[in-house]
Amino acid sequence: MIPKTLPDKHKKSFLIFFIVLLGLTIFATVALANFSTIKVDAAVVNVRTGPGLSYDVMSQVGAGDTVNVLETKNEWYKVRLSNDKIGWVASWLVNNTEISAATNTVGTITGEQINVRSENNENAAILGAVVKGTELTVLFQENGWTQVQYNQQVAWVSSKFIEVKAASVQQAPTTVATANDKNANIQTISIRTEWTRIRNGPSTNNQVVMTASQGQNFSYIGTEGDWYHVRSTNGTEGYVANWLVDLSASAKTAPAAQVTSLSEATIVIDPGHGGSDPGAEGSNYYESEITLSTAKILAQQLEQSGANVILTRTSDADVSLSNRAYMSNQAKADVFISIHYDSTPSPNQGSGTTTYYYSDKNKDLAKSINNALAKGPLPNNGYRFGDHQVTRENTQPAVLLEMGYVNNSTDSSLITTKGYQQTMATNIVNALNNYFSK
């Protein structure tokens, strides 16, 4: 049967109804979760329980995965994963071109005293209790349960005892703390995470005046909203977000960052020699040339994996051995790798790769990287103790690699090629991935 054609006025009525229905659906969705979708760039990204490296890892996402952003805090995004779990990821590991401000959703507890649970069921562990009138940030609702933010973690309460409504945007107060306020006893601000940015105003929109290291202490001046006004030991003043620091009435060491992924690590790559020190001489080249080319290839691959990479030199320049170790110590490097190529008094007396460590605590790192070198085309001579200044004066995990002999004809024909350097760099990156995952 051929259906009759609707009159034009009915068509218009139907169209208006459809548009209204679609609008209501969109509004209902946005009211509970106004977020943007972003794509993960790094190979592996840890999802943590809070906005910093010192928080526990709750899950992981990989390159190409998409997550929904619910909130931003300085350099971290609160995200909802595909399984509806809520966590935090480092902003520098994802493509943030689609980030927009999220509207918080607030729930008010209506029961007299309600249990807060770790999962959305009555048998889940009780994390605490909230009383009538308590307001919690709502993240998600399903099957009679409401997911909330509770004591810097994700938790659940029964939907029967919480009234959800969209929260109005509140401006942070700009009143500077006085001697009589609740923070008056604070003397020291201790930085919790590496590469924390100190800004010239109490907002992520303000200019960065310096970058602080984990454990670095600042004098407390005052409070402005969620930001602390601080002064460094050299007199520089600025503002730091309160969720990135610890407070103390005296000097205090921040908790160690739990780096369990290469994508969160700081790696210092040291191309051996350079400038007035060309290193060993090969056939029409010097060691300093191929250590630099190898280091740059390794740095590129590490950056593609999401790591923060620092090169002790990027050109044929003089850098003292003490400065190389100092750069690693200042950056609080998670791994320092010094790249070299070996030589012997007479040609063709030595061949292959070797890994050196100074401190016994770096044996596992040396073993892991040496196993990677052994997968290359040259013989491997194992890992062993070596008294080198760049590792001896280095307080961070450090190794020195000899990646072939410049005066061995077989080795030399390989180590000068881009193919060899890329293969060995890939092997080292894989080794570091394994090292951090353990």
Instruction: Report d(CA 416, CA 293) in Å as an integer.
Output: 9
Kindly state the greatest CA–CA separation across the chain.
98
**Strand intervals (E) in 74-134:** 76-80, 86-90, 94-95, 105-109, 113-117, 126-131
Pairing of strands 335-342, 266-271: parallel
Instruction: Report d(CA 394, CA 135) in Å as an integer.
Output: 49
Contact in structure between 241 and 227 (CB atoms under 8 Å): yes
Residues across the chain: 438
Contact in structure between 54 and 256 (CB atoms under 8 Å): yes
Q: Which two three-digit tokens encode residue 1?
A: 């049967």
What pLDDT score does 39 carry? 75
Contact in structure between 271 and 292 (CB atoms under 8 Å): yes
> In 4-26, which positions are buried (b, 16+ CB within 10 angstroms) versus exposed (e)?
eeeeeeeeeeeeeeeeeeeeeee
Global pTM value: 0.50
Instruction: Report d(CA 3, CA 175) in Å as an integer.
Output: 70
Pairing of strands 44-48, 57-62: antiparallel
Residue 165: other Cβ atoms inside 10 A: 12
> Where do the domains of the chain lie?
36-95, 105-166, 188-248, 265-437
What pLDDT score does 31 carry? 35
What's CA 223's distance to the chain center, in Å?
27
Find residue 109's DSSP bridge partners. Answer: 162
Backbone angles phi, psi at 193, to 5 degrees: -125, 155
Identity of the residue numbered 265 = A
Instruction: Report d(CA 32, CA 35) in Å as an integer.
Output: 10
pLDDT, tens digit, 9 for 90 and up, residues 263-284:
878 899 999 999 999 999 998 9
Radius of gyration of the CA atoms of the chain, in A: 28
DSSP state of 180: T
pLDDT tens-digit profile, the chain (438 residues): 434 444 555 555 555 555 544 444 433 333 333 456 777 766 667 788 777 766 667 777 777 787 878 777 766 788 887 766 778 887 767 654 333 323 346 788 988 888 888 888 888 888 888 888 888 877 666 677 887 777 656 678 898 898 876 433 232 233 333 333 434 445 778 786 667 789 898 877 788 899 888 778 888 888 877 678 899 888 889 998 776 676 654 433 434 456 778 887 889 999 999 999 999 999 899 999 999 999 999 999 998 888 888 999 999 999 999 889 888 887 788 999 999 999 999 999 999 999 999 989 999 999 999 999 999 999 999 999 999 999 998 989 999 999 999 999 999 999 999 999 999 999 999 999 999 887
Instruction: Report d(CA 433, CA 269) in Å as an integer.
Output: 16
Q: What share of the chain is helix, strand, coil (3-state, %, to 5)?
A: 25, 35, 40
Pairing of strands 135-142, 162-166: unpaired
Backbone angles phi, psi at 298, to 5 degrees: -65, -45
What topology does CATH give the domain 188-248? SH3 type barrels. (2.30.30)
Does CATH place domain 36-95 in 2.30.30.40? Answer: yes
The two domains 36-95 and 188-248 share their CATH topology (first three levels equal): yes
- Its CATH class, for the domain covering 105-166, is mainly beta
Q: Which two three-digit tokens encode residue 310?
A: 């620092």
Instruction: Report d(CA 344, CA 381) in Å as an integer.
Output: 15
Identity of the residue numbered 272 = G
Please name which of 93, 100, 104 lies closest in space to residue 44, comparing C-alpha atoms.
Answer: 93
**Residue 291, helix vs strand vs coil:** helix
Q: Which two three-digit tokens encode residue 160?
A: 């029967």
Does CATH place domain 265-437 in 2.60.40.290? Answer: no
- Residue 61: burial class (beta carbons within 10 Å; 0-12, 13-18, 19+): buried
Structural element, H or E, at residue 25: helix 8-32
Angle between helices 418-437 and 287-304 (to 10 degrees): 50
Instruction: Report d(CA 334, CA 195) in Å as an integer.
Output: 13
